[in-house]
């Protein structure tokens, strides 16, 4: 098992956000975490990357017990809200973050250009990020997450604000990465993206209410609709 969460509990002040989370994510799969706003998706992601610690329970990614700074070398993370340097160009943002991963200069420059092409920013790489649209910043954030060829990609709503054609290209790249042995964890509230995952964890009110392959989850419903599983849970 590549990622394991066992009996994880997280509260902020007196409000419990996640309750007794059990989650196992395999190697070489695209695992989707789906749920309505406020369900606990982003908190779960922040726990996975070690940005915050659990109140109870254990989280393990590969051989690392989280939180662990060393694990960042094998994790590519894309936050829901961008964390970019607006006074730098897109290309220079990539060079900066690549430097944090201690990538060698020539490899970093090559990868930066490749990633700008992947997210269709190669014509805008020299522009300062302050002049980027919201969608462009989202695409740059994804490029940064992919830059150092991480083993695990953890992406929080990665395609929000991205046009359908580019979204398809990005999902094609996700599948390509999976075929190379990468594991991708992606949160979404878009049902047509959820069914592109290999397995789904459905989260509601801080609880995992279902976790299985997409086909198995769909077979539990009358109309082959993931939404039905949430409706049955009172969403």
Structure tokens belonging to residue 232: 């049955």
pLDDT value, residue 234: 52
Side-by-side strand order, sheet with 207-213: 75-78, 152-156, 183-188, 30-34, 199-204, 207-213
Question: With the C-alpha atoms ordered 196, 183, 176, 188, is the resulting torsion angle positive or negative?
Answer: positive
d(CA 157, CA 137): 13
Whether the CB-CB separation of 93 and 124 falls below 8 Å is answered with no
Q: Which residues pair with 75 in a beta bridge?
A: 152
pLDDT value, residue 224: 75
Cβ neighbour number for residue 165 with a 10 Å cutoff: 9
Regions of the chain short of the pLDDT cut 70: 232-235
pTM for this prediction: 0.90
pLDDT value, residue 3: 95
d(CA 33, CA 84): 24
The CATH number fitting domain 1-74+185-235, selected from 3.40.190.10, 1.10.260.40, 3.40.50.300, 3.40.1010.10: 3.40.50.300
- Look at strands 152-156 and 183-188 and give their pairing: parallel
Question: With the C-alpha atoms ordered 173, 149, 198, 121, is the resulting torsion angle positive or negative?
Answer: negative
pLDDT value, residue 178: 93
User: Which residues are within 8 A (CB) of 100 and not within 5 positions of it... i.e. 6 or more apart?
Assistant: none
Q: Which helix (H) or strand (E) holds 57?
A: strand 56-61
Task: Please give the mean pLDDT across all residues of the chain.
Answer: 91
Which of 132, 185, 130, 183 has its CA nearest to residue 162? 132
pLDDT value, residue 233: 58
Domain ranges (residues) in the chain: 1-74+185-235
Task: Kindly list the distances between the CA atom of residue 140 and the CA atoms of 97, 132, 182, 190, in Å, as whole numbers in the listed order.
Answer: 11, 10, 20, 21
């Amino acid at each position: 098992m590549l990622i394991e969460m066992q009996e994880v509990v997280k509260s902020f002040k007196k409000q419990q956000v996640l309750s007794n989370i059990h989650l196992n994510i395999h190697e070489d799969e695209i695992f989707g975490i789906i749920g309505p706003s406020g369900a606990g998706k982003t908190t779960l992601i922040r726990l996975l990357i070690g940005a915050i610690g659990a109140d109870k329970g254990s989280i393990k990614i590969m051989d690392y017990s989280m939180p662990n700074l060393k694990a960042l070398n094998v994790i590519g993370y894309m936050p829901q809200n961008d964390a970019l340097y607006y006074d730098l160009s897109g290309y220079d943002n990539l060079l900066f973050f690549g430097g944090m991963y201690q990538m060698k200069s020539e490899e970093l420059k090559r990868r930066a250009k490749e990633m700008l092409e992947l997210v269709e920013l190669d014509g805008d790489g020299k522009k300062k990020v302050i002049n980027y649209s919201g969608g462009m910043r989202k695409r740059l954030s994804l490029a940064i997450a992919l830059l150092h060829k991480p083993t695990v990609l953890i992406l929080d709503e990665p395609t929000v604000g991205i046009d359908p054609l580019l979204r398809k290209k990005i999902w094609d790249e996700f599948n390509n990465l999976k075929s190379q042995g990468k594991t991708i964890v992606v949160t979404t509230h878009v049902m047509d993206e959820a069914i592109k995952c290999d397995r789904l964890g459905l989260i509601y009110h801080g609880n995992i209410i279902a976790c299985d392959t997409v086909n198995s989850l769909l077979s539990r419903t009358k109309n082959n609709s993931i939404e039905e599983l949430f409706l049955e849970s009172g969403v």
